[in-house]
Amino acid sequence: MSQNRNKLIELIMGNIANTIIHSILEISIKQDREELAAKYRKELVNSFEISKKYREKLNPSDRTLPMEEVDIIKIKNKVLSELNLRISKGYNNIQLNLIDQEINKALKQLNMI
C-alpha cells in the first residue's frame, strides 16, 4: 500500500473520530443548550465532509475498503479518550454507549465497511 494511501486513510479516520466526538457531544447537550449543540453539529458536518473528500480520493471509492485498512479500534480509542477528557472537565450527559453505533454509521456512510 502506498504511503499516500496510508496518509489518506489516517486523515479519514481522524476526521471520522472528530465527527463522532461532536455527534455525541451534540446529542449530550441538545436538550440543555441548543446554541452549543448547533456548534457541535456544524463541527461534525464539517469533519464528515472532509472525510468524504479524502474518501473520494481513495480508489475505488464505490467499494468498501479491506478491513485491514480500517482501524476501528484506533477511531474508538481516540473518541473515547476525548470524551473522557470532556467528562473530566465537567461535561454532563455524555453517552459513551453511542460510540460503536456512531462509528458504524459514519463508516457505512463513507462506504468504508
pTM score of the predicted model: 0.87
| Residue ranges of domains in the chain | 3-109
Tell me how far apart the alpha carbons of residues 95 and 40 are, in angstroms, rounded to a whole number. Answer: 15
User: How far is C-alpha 15 from the chain's CA centre?
Assistant: 6
- Give 30-87 pLDDT, tens digit per residue: 767 888 888 999 999 999 999 999 988 887 777 887 777 888 999 999 999 999 999 9
DSSP string, 83-94: HHHHHHTT----
- Give 4-43 pLDDT, tens digit per residue: 888 999 999 999 999 999 999 998 887 678 888 889 999 9
Residue 1: which pLDDT band, with cuts at 50, 70 and 90?
Answer: low
